[in-house]
């Protein structure tokens, strides 16, 4: 089976499951997206790894794993999403130490959080993408195509909550920097990322 490389498109609050998030992976050489439902903690950890400007005051669990692996010369070479059963994705970490390769089972959300920290590529098999891959926008000429699925019921396509954006829009830049410091201190990294986005726009 051939492997397909994926990149992270974004993270959105899940419209179908309370307290959950949709991690959207993008096919590198195609238009399909792979949505994966993950928990709030894992979403926060992935968001922090994506936002280079936000540094937590203490290492999160995935940061601790990275520090531990670095200390003992363990490298995560790649992540493979290798199985899909009843809507649950299964992943493996391909690790190497002393030129010996090991395969470690992992939840997909944890595997991706670690892949970001190790700068490791993310792959899935073509048959999984054929089964679960979707398109963010529907082509009106292919409305009845079962492979062209509308994703608006699964994620918020804008990847941002407009009402919170409006709140930050009314703040001064100095107030936003103070809110950013406060959010990082309180380890509310989701809020910190949104504040940082508003600062970047200015």
Rounded mean pLDDT of 69-98?
Answer: 95
More confident residue, 143 or 117: 117
Tell me, what's the pLDDT at 117?
95
At CB < 8 A and 24+ separation, what contacts does 127-133 make? 127/1, 128/34, 128/81, 128/82, 128/83, 128/84, 128/89, 129/4, 129/27, 129/32, 129/34, 131/84, 132/34, 132/35, 132/84, 132/89, 133/27, 133/32, 133/33, 133/34
Q: Report, in angstroms and rounded to the nearest whole number, the Rg of the chain calculated over CA atoms.
A: 18
pLDDT level of residue 183 (50, 70, 90 thresholds): confident
At 14-39, the pLDDT tens digits run: 666 667 888 999 999 888 999 999 98
Taking the domains of the chain in order of start, what are their residue ranges?
A: 3-135, 151-201
Name the burial class of residue 196, with classes exposed (0-12), middle (13-18) and buried (19+) by CB atoms within 10 angstroms of its CB. buried
Whole-angstrom distance, CA of residue 131 vs CA of residue 155: 18
What is the rounded CA–CA span in Å between residue 155 and residue 132? 15
Question: Using an 8 Å Cβ cutoff, are 10 and 126 in contact?
Answer: no
Q: Is the pLDDT of residue 45 over 50?
A: yes
Contacts of 87 (CB under 8 A, 6+ apart): none
User: pLDDT by residue (tens digit) across 94-142?
Assistant: 999 999 999 999 999 999 999 999 999 999 999 999 999 988 654 444 4
pLDDT range class, residue 196, cuts 50, 70, 90: confident
Q: What superfamily does domain 3-135 belong to in CATH?
A: Bifunctional nuclease domain (3.10.690.10)
Residue-level pLDDT at 138 = 44
* pLDDT at residue 46, as a whole number: 92
Average pLDDT in the chain: 82
């Amino acid at each position: 089976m051939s492997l397909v490389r994926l990149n992270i498109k974004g993270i959105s609050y899940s419209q179908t499951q309370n307290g959950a998030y949709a991690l959207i992976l993008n096919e590198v050489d195609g238009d399909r997206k792979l949505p994966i439902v993950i928990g709030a903690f894992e979403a926060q950890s992935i968001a922090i790894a994506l936002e280079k400007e936000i540094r937590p005051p203490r290492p999160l669990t995935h940061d601790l794993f990275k520090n531990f692996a670095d200390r003992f010369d363990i490298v995560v070479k790649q992540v493979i999403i290798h199985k899909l059963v009843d809507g649950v994705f299964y992943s493996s970490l391909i690790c190497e130490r002393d030129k010996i390769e090991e395969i470690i089972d992992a939840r997909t959300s944890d595997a991706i959080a670690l892949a970001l920290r190790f700068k490791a590529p993310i792959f899935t098999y073509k048959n999984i993408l054929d089964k679960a891959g979707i398109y963010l926008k529907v082509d009106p000429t292919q409305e009845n195509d079962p492979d062209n699925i509308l994703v608006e019921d699964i994620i918020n396509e804008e990847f941002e909550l407009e009402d919170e954006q409006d709140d930050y829009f009314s703040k001064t830049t100095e107030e936003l920097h103070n809110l950013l410091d406060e959010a990082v201190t309180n380890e509310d990294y989701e809020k910190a990322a949104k504040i940082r986005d508003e600062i970047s726009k200015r």
